[in-house]
Each structure stands twice: as C-alpha cells, then as structure tokens.
C-alpha cells in the first residue's frame, strides 16, 4: 500500500482497523515503562520529588504544539491539494490537542505552586500556551457551528494556519522575554541539560504520549469518516423519501 | 501508600497532576470509543432501512 492509497477513505478505514490494536498495545506498554521509570527516578537536588510532574507536563506541552503543527500541515492539504482526508485529520486532532494543552497548563500550574510560589503568572510562555488552548476551543466551536463539513473545512484551515504563528512564539518565548518559566532543557542547540536519570524517563514518556496521540487521532479520524458516511446516507434517504 | 509518603511535602501536587492526566486521557479514550459505537449503530440502522452507498456497497461495509 502506497501513501497515495490513504487518500481513499475506504482504504484508510481498512488500514486503521488493522493498525489500531497494535498501536494501542504498543502505547500501553510504553506508557507502563515510562510511568515505572518516572516513579523510580531520583528526586532532584533542588525540586525534590516535584520533578516527577515534569514526566507528564513536558510530553503534554510538546504535544500541545505538535498537534497544532499536524493540523497546520493538514490545513495545507485542504487548501492546496484538497486531499479528501486532510480536513478529517484536522477536525479530529483539535479536541485531542485541546486536551493535551489543558493538561500542560494544569500540570504546569500544579508544578509551579510549590516551585514558584504561584499557580499562575502572566509571563510570555504561560500566556502564549493559554492562547493556544483558547485557539483550540475556537476551532472546535467553528467546526460545530457549520453543519456542512466541507464548508467548515476551508474556514478552519485558514484559522489554523493563522494560529500557527503562535507556535514559534511559544517555543522562543523563554528566550525572547524574561520569563518565570525555565528555558528549553531538552531540544536546544547545545544538547540536553538534563541528567540521564531524568532525560531517559522523559523521552520514554514523550514517545509514549506521541503514540497515544497517533492512536487516538487515527481512531477519531475513523469516527469522522463514518460520521460523514452516515450524513451522506441520511441525505440520500431523505431525497428518496421526498421523490 | 509508602510511594505517596515518599513524595515529600508536595505529594498532593504530584498525585493530583498524575490523577488528572489519567482522568483526561481516560475521558478521551471513552469519548472516542462511545463515538465509534454511535456511528456504527447509526450505519447499521441505515443498512437495515435499505439505504446503500453510491458504490452499491452496504452502509456498514468498509
């Protein structure tokens, strides 16, 4: 099966039906390993055990931006190539991305209270991620407001691409402005600054959450294809009844 | 219990963060699973009413 075959929703459904159980199993195994390593990781010399929040906060923060990047690529597919699955991919990813962003904000807040002495600070990183979360909610509202998915797709694609401007702002906010949030410690030009005892569980959890997103996204895309099939069949049924 | 007590004075923050992440991920999984059941149920109902796709295949066929 070549990549172009996935443009056909029926072939995509066949692929997801076969792939989902394997992906779900692999995700569960990696999450179990990651959680075990997170529990076994030593306390940080400054933060103590609160460093364990990092193992769920950071993967969710990575995914909050990654999902929007996936949606941006899908939006290009909608606007430029009119790929039949592009807007299905974008629409299905939005609620999952919103959930990951919500978790990044809340777990960050729970980490911030004991370390910074506050749940929330209007600094550039926190504020730009909050804006990302609000953009996800706006996008979900837009999809729900327009009944015809093909009409909603174009407006949503434009909004998604405009919103992508926020991604470099989030990434570099800690370098461009003086923020309470710490600068990057994994993906940086000089290499990770984290000790291996923290870096390895973090990377395992990062891969596990990435697989979790892939699994949920494929399952949500399958649901969206079926929803559109239901809609078109109901319209056929209604037109037959009217004739 | 010993794991929780070994987390020190901020154990409640750590446990809350992990429980919340578990709850949100479980909700996502449940929502997607319920949605799948709902769509397949609707397709089955359409299939039973005799509606077929433009390709001639039944509503529930992949």
**pLDDT value at A188 more than 60:** yes
Q: Is the pLDDT of residue B52 over 80?
A: no
Taking an 8 Å cut-off on Cβ atoms, the answer to whether B42 and A222 are in contact is no
Residue B60 lies in a domain: no
Structure confidence at residue A3 (pLDDT): 59
Residue A83 has φ and ψ, to the nearest 5°, of -65, 130
The more confidently predicted of residues A233 and A160 is A160
Average pLDDT score over residue span B15-26: 97
> Which residue in this structure is represented by tokens 């990781």?
A41
Structure confidence at residue A190 (pLDDT): 79
What does the block give as tokens for A213? 């997103």
> How far are the Cα atoms of A19, A146, A224, B36 from residue A73, in angstroms, in the given order?
22, 22, 18, 25
- Are A64 and A97 in contact by the 8 Å Cβ rule? The answer is yes
Angle at A63 between CA A155 and CA A152, to 5 degrees: 15
B31 belongs to a structural domain: yes
Mutate to test the interface with B, among A56, A112, A231 (most CBs of B within 10 A): A56
Kindly give the residue spans of alpha helices, DSSP state H, lying in chain A.
Answer: 9-40, 54-76, 86-116, 124-145, 149-163, 166-176, 196-242
Q: What is the pLDDT of residues A174-184, one digit of tens each?
A: 989 888 888 88
B59 within domain boundaries: no
CA A184 centroid distance within chain? 19
Does the pLDDT value for residue A43 go beyond 80? yes
- Dist CA A213 CA A96 (whole Å): 7
Could you tell me the residue range of the domain that residue B21 belongs to? 2-48
Mean pLDDT estimate for chain A: 92
In sequence order, what DSSP letters do the residues of A135-161 get, joined into one string?
HHHHHHHHHHH-SSHHHHHHHHHHHHH
Name the residue facing B32 among A53, A60, A220 (closest C-beta): A220
Size of interface A-B (CB pairs under 8 A): 97
The per-residue pLDDT for B7 is: 83
Q: How many H-runs (helices) and E-runs (strands) does chain B carry?
A: 2, 0
pLDDT for res A238: 84
**pLDDT per position as a tens digit, A193-232:** 888 999 999 999 999 999 999 999 999 999 999 999 999 8
A50 to chain B, any CB pair closer than 8 A? The answer is yes
In a domain, B61, yes or no: no
- For residue B13, being part of any structural domain is answered with yes
Residues A216, B28: C-beta atoms closer than 8 Å: yes
* Percent of the residues in chain A that have a pLDDT greater than 70, as a whole number: 97
pLDDT digits (tens, 9 = 90+) for A225-236: 999 999 988 888
pTM exceeding 0.90? yes
Residue B10 lies in a domain: yes
Q: Residue A190: how many CB atoms within 10 A of its CB?
A: 6
Contact A96, A67 (CB under 8 A): yes
Q: What is the mean pLDDT of residues A48-69?
A: 96
B46 to A233: CB separation less than 8 angstroms, yes or no: yes
Q: What is the pLDDT of residue A5?
A: 64
Does residue B29 belong to any structural domain of this protein? Answer: yes
More confident residue, A53 or A181: A53
Q: Is residue B26 one of the residues assigned to a domain?
A: yes
Count of the separate structural domains present in chain B: 1
CB B20 within 8 A of CB A103: yes
Of A87, A236, A233, which Cα lies nearest the Cα of B61? A233
């Amino acid at each position: 099966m070549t990549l172009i075959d996935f443009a056909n929703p029926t072939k995509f459904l066949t692929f997801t039906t076969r792939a989902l159980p394997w992906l779900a199993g692999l995700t569960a195994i990696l999450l179990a390993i990651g959680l075990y390593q997170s529990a076994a990781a030593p306390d940080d010399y400054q933060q103590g055990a609160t460093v364990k929040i990092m193992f769920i906060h950071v993967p969710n923060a990575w995914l909050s931006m990654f999902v929007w990047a996936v949606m941006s690529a899908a939006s290009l597919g909608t606007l430029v190539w009119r790929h039949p699955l592009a807007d299905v991919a974008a629409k299905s990813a939005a609620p999952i991305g919103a959930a990951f962003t919500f978790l990044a904000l809340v777990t960050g807040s729970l980490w911030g209270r004991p370390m910074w002495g506050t749940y929330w600070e209007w600094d550039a990183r926190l504020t730009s991620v909050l804006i990302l979360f609000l953009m996800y909610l706006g996008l979900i509202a837009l999809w729900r407001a327009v009944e015809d998915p093909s009409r909603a797709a174009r407006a949503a694609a434009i909004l998604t691409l405009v919103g992508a401007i926020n991604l470099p702002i989030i990434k570099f906010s800690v370098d461009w402005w003086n923020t309470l949030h710490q600068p990057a410690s994994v993906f940086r030009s000089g290499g990770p600054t984290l000790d291996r005892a923290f870096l390895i569980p973090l990377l395992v959890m990062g891969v596990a959450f990435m697989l979790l997103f892939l699994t949920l996204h494929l399952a949500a895309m399958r649901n969206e294809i079926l929803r559109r099939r239901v809609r078109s069949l109901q319209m056929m049924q209604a037109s037959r009844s009217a004739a | 219990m010993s794991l929780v007590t070994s987390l020190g004075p901020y154990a409640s923050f750590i446990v809350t963060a992990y429980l919340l992440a578990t709850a949100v991920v479980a909700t996502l999984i449940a929502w997607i699973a319920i949605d799948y059941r709902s769509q397949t149920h609707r397709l089955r109902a359409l299939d039973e009413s005799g509606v077929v796709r433009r390709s001639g295949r039944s509503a529930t066929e992949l």
